[in-house]
Structures are given as C-alpha cells and as structure tokens.
Chain A
C-alpha cells in the first residue's frame, strides 16, 4: 500500500499561470481533503470531498477548484496563481465516522509562485 500519494513534489509558477495538484489514495477511503500549510498558521482546509461525487468548501477556498475524479483521486486546481498561494499543500484521506476516521496525509507539494 502506497497510502496517499501526491504529484508533483515541487513546483514553481509565475503569477497568473495555472496548474493542477494531483492526489491519489489506495486505502478505499470515502473522504478526501486538501490543506495548505503556512508558517505559524498550522494546516488550513481548502476543500474536502466527503464521498465520491461531492465536494465542499473549507476554511480558505478562494482561488482554488477541486475535482473528485473517482473514489481514489482528488485534484486541486489553481486557475491563476498568485504569490499568496505560495505554500505547502497536503492531501489527506479518511473513512467516515469513528473509530476509523483517522486522516492519513500525503508527503506534500511545495509550491512557489513568483
């Protein structure tokens, strides 16, 4: 089991460029999440997908879109990147409901927007 995988690991963009961050999980989890991590601010939820076919906004959704492509894959798209989106992005997945609702995180994508 690879768990949660993310591509790419690193990316540099210019302001206004677009890109898609990919995430896949092989644990047959229903729920998937995208977070961003900034110094001194912990992890903040961007979007989540409670189950295949559904997506909902988190705490900081502006400037992002998501697609739950199937049960395994959940992508995050930046349509027009801004320097404020420079961050480390983490994808996570979980089952729903106790006692199996632990969120498992991927290794992250470090994004720099110039």
Chain B
C-alpha cells in the first residue's frame, strides 16, 4: 500500500520568514495530494490540495508543488504569522477505492515573534 513520509517533524521559524514542509510518497498511482492544518484540540482542516495533472498551486501565502517523477510534494508558507502555528499533515490517495487518504506523520510548525 501507499507510504507517505513527511519531514521535518518540527519546524521553528521567525515571524515573516518562509516555511517549507516536504513529503514523499511510494505509490506511483496516487494522484491527489491534500495538505491539512490541525490546531490544538481540533480536527484537521484542508488548507490546499493538488492533483497530479498540476505542478504547482498557490493560494495567497500558501503554495504546494508536486514532482511526480521524484514522487514528492511540498508545502510552502510565505510571510509566516503566529496564527500559522499548528500541526500540518500531508496526505495522498489514488483513484478509486473510496477516496482513502494515507497521511504523513505531521509537522509541528511554530512561528516565533
């Protein structure tokens, strides 16, 4: 089955700096790659996603890039703010099979003032 690895497990940046979180996946048939943000005591919330027919997608300060050949994708957050502090999860799924997601192990992002 699919295996998703995520790095780093913790990331500390200064407010205003950029943050990058990287994930690799093992199943070449995977074609959907969402990123979730989880605040303390809450459920994960989708912040951005990308499909395999696209190499990059941006939404304001957040961007995701996908390299299908290397089977890795990354989350980029620019101009970080204290409210960006949370745990971020990448995930992957393949067509069919009920849209099952395989998650990475998460990155604790801390934005320091």
Contact = CB atoms under 8 A, between A and B. Distances in A.
Interface residues of A, number: 29
Contact of B99 (A31, A41, A44, A105): A31
Please classify how large the interface on chain B is, using the bins under 10, 10 to 19, 20 to 34, 35 or more. Answer: 20 to 34
Contacts, number: 64
A42 B89 contact: yes
Contacts of A40: 9, 105-106
Given A43-B44, A90-B44, A106-B43, A101 B32 contact: yes
B98 A42 contact: no
Nearest to A108: B43
A96 B99 contact: yes
A94 interface: yes
Nearest to B105: A42
A112 interface: no
Interface in B68-97: 89, 93
Contacts of A59: 1, 102
Interface string A91-109: 0101011100111111110
Contact of A56 (B43, B93, B98): B98
Contacts of B49: 102
A59 B103 CA distance: 11
B101 interface: yes
Nearest to B98: A50
A102 B93 CA distance: 11
B100 A48 contact: yes
Interface string B43-75: 111100101000000000000000000000000
Nearest to A50: B98
11 contacts: A31-B99, A33-B101, A40-B9, A40-B106, A42-B89, A44-B103, A59-B1, A59-B102, A90-B44, A101-B32, A107-B41
